[in-house]
Structures are given as structure tokens and as C-alpha cells.
Chain A
Amino acid sequence: MKKNSTIIPMPFRYLINIVLFATFLFVMNSLITSGAISKYYAGVISFIGINIILAVSLNVATGYLGQLPLGHAGFMAVGAYTSALIMKAAAGAGIAFPFALIAAGLVAALFGLLIGMPALRLKGDYLAILTLGFGEIIRVILLNIDNVLGFKFTNGAAGLQKIPKTTTFLITFIFVGITCFVIHTMMKSRHGRAILSIRENEIAAESCGINTTYYKTLGFVVSAFFAGIAGGLYAGNIGILNPSAFGFMKSIEILVMVVLGGMGSMFGSVFSATVLTALPEMLRSFASYRMVAYSLVLVIVMIFKPSGLMGTYDFSLNGLLDKLILKIKGNSDSGGGKALSGKKEGNANE
């Protein structure tokens, strides 16, 4: 890469994105609070945010790390129940929702660590089936733990009800921003490069001195952490938790988002999470065909474009600006506008 390939200096690159993202938040938030966007659509938009967090976090384990965990919904369930129980217990105490969300993320991360340490010593299929088993175990435990312990904890199949509905558009999308920012900067750091090298060739990475077990666990824990946060947001958005919502089906839904968008592309995950959440809302009459379409999408994408719609391409606003500035300057030598970095900003263009 050329030395001067980044035209806009570093702090400004972040600044541009932050300003644009804040503007997006402000405009959308005022539209929702003023009632220009109905309550129903506000709920759908919150769901889009939650699914973006889920897809982007699964992308860490699937796209960047190259593993196939099938228990993402399990982490989400852990986070959802943690946050819901905290919010219910502290209904009067006034514990802020963000703290409950962080707690949800931490508990999910702990589970990620517990399941990741043994699971990540295994390869591909074994890991897939082990995480799948883990997700099922979480579901079975949530269903039956009340009968064993003898007190009302998860409320079994009836579900946990009357959870304070504290999820708002603003808090959801602030967490979307944090998730994308943290994962993006992590992937651009040396830890991120170590994680990518494991995807490319695990044996080669190991022989270069990369502690593959450590980095695999790291990627897995980060992935679980944000899934937990998404779970907490989900609990606050819907108000009722039922173990059956976190089955294998949910894990596959998230996987479809990642695979369709492109494994290893954060922009792809954001894009396909948005489309795949918004589209079923618009096509309500085709609801029964939705899962058939999802499974067909999985197979067709794998056969004809295994890298997904976006491949590993990531949209970079600053990269685009760089190119534009170069063009205006009339400096059109090839590859001059190739951006090195820039915070990915999928949401600002919605």
C-alpha cells in the first residue's frame, strides 16, 4: 500500500463517522418520539438493531475465526434471562438498563468461555455439533430448572413475563454502534489479525507462534458477549421470554444473515440483518414460506457464491471520501484511493 493512501488524517476519520452516526441517531429518535414513525415500526427498527448485533457478533466467530458455532441463540438466551431477571428484581431500585445489559453480556461471555475452552480444541464439525448441543442444553435447563430448584426462576415453558419494556430505539442503536466499533477496531488490531490468520490456515498460524487456542477463545468470548447484550435488548423489547424462542431455529436464522451478507464482512452482516428483518414484516402474507426461502438461500448461496453477497468487502465511508478527493485532485493513478482503514458505517446510509 502507498504511504499517503489515507488522505483524511486519523482522528477525523473517526470524527466523521461519529458525527454521521450521531446525526442518524438524533434524526431517527426525534422521528420516533414525535410519532412520525409509528410505535409498531419503532419496534421493528429495534428488532433490526438487535439482529444487527447478533449477526455482527456471530460474524466474529464464523466469518473472522472460520468456525461454525450453532449455539448463538443459547448465548442470546443467557443474556436475555440475565437482563430480564436483573430488571425485574430491580424494578423499583432504578438500576439503569445499560448496566443490566452489560451484566447480560458478561454472563453470556462467561458461558462462552466455559463452552469455548473445550469446544475450540475441536475442529469444524465437532465444534458445530458441540455448540449445537450446548444451545439445546441451555434451552432444556431454562425449561426445567424451576422444577428442580423448586422456586420461580425462569417460569419454565410458560415463560418469564412482565419484564420492564426498557428497550428504546436510542439504546438499541447506541449498542449497535458500540458493537460495530469494538469489533471493527478489534479486527484491525494485532489480535484481529491473529484471529484472521487462524481462519486462513490454523496450522500455519500456529507455526508462526500464534496461540491459536487463546485467540479462538477470545473470538468466541467476544462473540458470546455481544450476543448476550442482544439478548438483553430482546428481553426489554418484547417483554416476555420463552425458552422455545431460543432454539436451533434462531441460531440458524442468525447464521443465514451472516452467510448471505458474506462471512467476514461486517457491512454484509449489517445489510443482510436489516433486509432479512424488514422483509418478512413487509411480506406478512408469505410468512409460511419464510423458512423455506431461508433454507434455499443457504444452499443456493453456498453453491453459487460461497463468499456471500459482499464477500469480505467492507464498506468504508472514509475510503470513499479518499477516492473522491483523489479524483477531484485529478490524481488518478491506479489504486491510489485504496483505503487502509476507516470505521465502517453501515447504519448511516439506511
Chain B
Amino acid sequence: MSLVISQLINGLQSGSIYALVALGYSMVYGIIMLLNFAHGDVIMVGAYVAWLVIVSFSLPPAIAIALAIIACTVLGVVIEKVAYTPLRKSPRLSLLITAIGISFLLENLAQLIFGAGSQQVPTLITGPSIDIAGQHIGFTAIITIVVSVVSMVALTFLVQKTKMGKAMRAVSEDMGTAQLMGINVNSTISFTFAVGSALAGIGSVLYCCAYPQASPTMGAMLGLKAFVAAVLGGIGSLPGAMLGGFCIGIAEAVVSAVGLSVWKDGVVFAILIVVLIFKPTGILGKVINEKV
């Protein structure tokens, strides 16, 4: 029984990280219909920044966390300005290929600069573990789950209740009309990228707490699984991204628990295929009719 609970908590912890990344995917997808392949690699950059700050400049972890989040935010906006803005009027295919290109560029640059091997990231967050009903729960697991839930709630508030959120929703509905209504489309999209990338930054810090390593390709698989989570929950839906993240995390934990951990990646993509065939809108997504 205790094994089941501990696996469940493991699943929730990795699920929370997926959820944070999936939120970023979902926001960007919602506003410019772009599958931002580079999102996962932004996380990788965040992890390297944290590692660099602590190991090379020997600064305290708190500064490393702050710098990692800031670096991710800036990187997200820069990517949007340099690579995606010039292509806003091009076909979706060009945009998607550009996103893949950026993703590869970041991975290979990291490999060139830091080497192909992984770097050990020192402990970022420490705290007391808690015992609930005789079950030992690590501090990082609690922090991860709490931070991701708080982020989701804050994000929902931002999108639903603030003026910027209203602008974001308007742009995602109809970019041209939003512009006519006096909304600055460019800054709204940049803001969305900034928020999404900041979430990726938080995700990278939490990821480093769970698996203290930074490697050039760490973001690729994480990003893809987070995308699966976003699709599973219903892309464009914030609570859906959260729900999808938890589902994927727990599914992975279950697969590992029954001793099939080598099939973990396969199972996640099998979930994706099943969802796309039977309910392409996801659990909480809504149907969008294509206009001619």
C-alpha cells in the first residue's frame, strides 16, 4: 500500500512538472496556433543557467532560481521576436518547421558549449520532509505540486480577470478584429510567450530538484510529453493542461511500478495516439470549427 502511495506521489510530482510545461504550450498554442517545439529546450537552458550560476559563479541557490526563470523568460521572448514574428503571415507548416529548427539549434548549441554529457546540478531547494499517515513525503515533491497548482490558479486569474488576459483571449479568437479594437497584438503575443517561458523556467527549477541533471537533450522528451499532456487535457484549456499533466505523470509512474519502465515513453505516445483518434479535443477542450 505504501508503495502504491509513494508511486502516486512520484507520479504527481513529475505530473506537476509536465503540467507547468503544458500550461506554456497551451497558452502559446491558444494564441497563435503554434506548436512551440522550442518550449522544452527553453527548460534545458533554464537548467544550464541554474547549474552555471551555482557551480561556476558559486552564488546561492535562490539567485540561481531567479536567474534561471529570468533567462527562460527573456529567451522565450527573443525566440518569438526573432523567429516567429517574421513568419506570422506564413503558412502553418513554415512556422512549425521554424519551431523545430529553433529547438534543434538550442539543443546543438548547448551540446557544443557544454558537451554532450550531463552536468550535475547542486541541490536548489531543501526543506523538511513531512509524514502524512505514516507516509514519508519529500519536501521537493510537496513544493513541486504546490507551486504548479498555485501557478495554474494564478494563470487562470490572469487570463480570465485581468485586462491583459482579456487581450490575450481576444487575440486568440481573432487577431485581425482584436487589432481593430485597439489591442496591441504584438505586445500581447510577446507577453504570452514571456508568461509561458517563465512557467518553463519554474518548471526547469522544479525538474532540477527532482532529477538533478542538466543535459542538452533533456528538454526534448520533457517538452514532447508535456505536449501530450496538453493534448490529453484539451489544448487551449488551462485546467485541462494541469489535468493532462497529472494523468501523464501518474501513467508513467504506474508503468514504472509494474516493472516496464523501458516502455514508459512508448506508453505516453500510445496515450497520445488513442486520445487523438477517439477524442481529439482532449478531456476539457472545446470543438473549434474551421472557417472556410
List residues of chain A with CB under 8 Å of any chain B CB: 62, 66, 68, 70, 118-119, 121-122, 124-126, 128-130, 132-134, 136-137, 140-141, 143-144, 147, 203, 248, 252, 255, 259, 263, 288-289, 291-292, 294-299, 302-303, 306
Can you list 29 residue pairs at the A/B interface with Cβ under 8 Å? A124-B92, A124-B93, A125-B35, A126-B231, A129-B224, A129-B227, A129-B228, A129-B272, A130-B273, A133-B269, A133-B272, A134-B273, A136-B265, A136-B266, A140-B263, A140-B265, A140-B266, A203-B292, A288-B112, A291-B107, A292-B105, A295-B104, A296-B105, A297-B101, A298-B101, A302-B98, A303-B86, A303-B98, A306-B90
* Given A124-B93, A137-B266, A302-B101: A295 touches B290 (CB 8 Å cut-off): no
| Bound CA span A120–B273, Å | 12
Q: Which residues of B contact A66 (CB under 8 A)?
A: 93
Is there a chain A Cβ closer than 8 Å to B276's Cβ? yes
| Bound CA span A141–B260, Å | 12
Interface string of B34-49 (1 = CB under 8 A from A): 1100000000000000
Q: Which residues of B contact A288 (CB under 8 A)?
A: 112
A161 CB → nearest B CB, Å: 21
Q: Is B104 a contact partner of A136 (Cβ separation < 8 A)? A: no
Closest to B266 in A: A140
B197 CB → nearest A CB, Å: 18
Q: Which residues of B contact A291 (CB under 8 A)?
A: 104, 107-108, 111
Q: Which residues of B contact A68 (CB under 8 A)?
A: 93, 96-97
Which chain B residues (5-59) contact chain A, with CB distance < 8 Å? 29, 33-35
A108 CB → nearest B CB, Å: 18
B63 CB → nearest A CB, Å: 30
Q: Which residues of A contact B104 (CB under 8 A)?
A: 252, 291, 294-295, 298
| Bound CA span A137–B96, Å | 22
Q: Which residues of B contact A295 (CB under 8 A)?
A: 101-105, 107-108
Q: Is A302 a contact partner of B94 (Cβ separation < 8 A)? A: yes
| Bound CA span A129–B227, Å | 9
Q: Which residues of B contact A147 (CB under 8 A)?
A: 262
| Bound CA span A118–B269, Å | 14
Interface string of B75-116 (1 = CB under 8 A from A): 000000001001100111111111011111101110110000
A9 CB → nearest B CB, Å: 39
Q: Is B112 a contact partner of A299 (Cβ separation < 8 A)? A: no
Which chain B residues (98-136) contact chain A, with CB distance < 8 Å? 98, 100-105, 107-109, 111-112
| Bound CA span A132–B22, Å | 18
Closest to B33 in A: A125
Closest to B221 in A: A136
Binding site of A, secondary structure by majority: helix, strand, loop or mixed? helix
* Given A129-B224, A294-B104: A140 touches B93 (CB 8 Å cut-off): no
Q: Which residues of B contact A137 (CB under 8 A)?
A: 265-266, 269-270
Is there a chain A Cβ closer than 8 Å to B277's Cβ? yes
Is there a chain A Cβ closer than 8 Å to B280's Cβ? yes
Q: Is B262 a contact partner of A144 (Cβ separation < 8 A)? A: yes
Closest to A256 in B: B101
| Bound CA span A151–B107, Å | 37
Which chain B residues (221-279) contact chain A, with CB distance < 8 Å? 224, 227-228, 231, 262-263, 265-266, 268-270, 272-273, 276-277
| Bound CA span A303–B276, Å | 31
Is there a chain A Cβ closer than 8 Å to B171's Cβ? no
Q: Which residues of B contact A298 (CB under 8 A)?
A: 97-98, 100-101, 104
Q: Which residues of A contact B90 (CB under 8 A)?
A: 302, 306
Q: Which residues of A contact B263 (CB under 8 A)?
A: 140, 144
| Bound CA span A292–B105, Å | 6
| Bound CA span A62–B34, Å | 18
A257 CB → nearest B CB, Å: 13
Q: Which residues of B contact A122 (CB under 8 A)?
A: 276, 280
Is there a chain A Cβ closer than 8 Å to B205's Cβ? no
Is there a chain A Cβ closer than 8 Å to B220's Cβ? yes
| Bound CA span A133–B290, Å | 25
Closest to B98 in A: A302
Q: Which residues of A contact B103 (CB under 8 A)?
A: 295
A62 CB → nearest B CB, Å: 8
Closest to A289 in B: B112
* Given A124-B96, A298-B101, A302-B94: A140 touches B272 (CB 8 Å cut-off): no
| Bound CA span A294–B94, Å | 16
| Bound CA span A117–B104, Å | 29
A117 CB → nearest B CB, Å: 9
Q: Which of B33, B101, B104 has the most CB of A within 10 A?
A: B101
Q: Is B97 a contact partner of A118 (Cβ separation < 8 A)? A: no
| Bound CA span A66–B231, Å | 22
* Given A203-B290, A296-B101: A306 touches B108 (CB 8 Å cut-off): no
Q: Which residues of B contact A121 (CB under 8 A)?
A: 277
| Bound CA span A132–B29, Å | 18
B286 CB → nearest A CB, Å: 16
Closest to B34 in A: A125
* Given A137-B269, A292-B105, A303-B86: A125 touches B112 (CB 8 Å cut-off): no
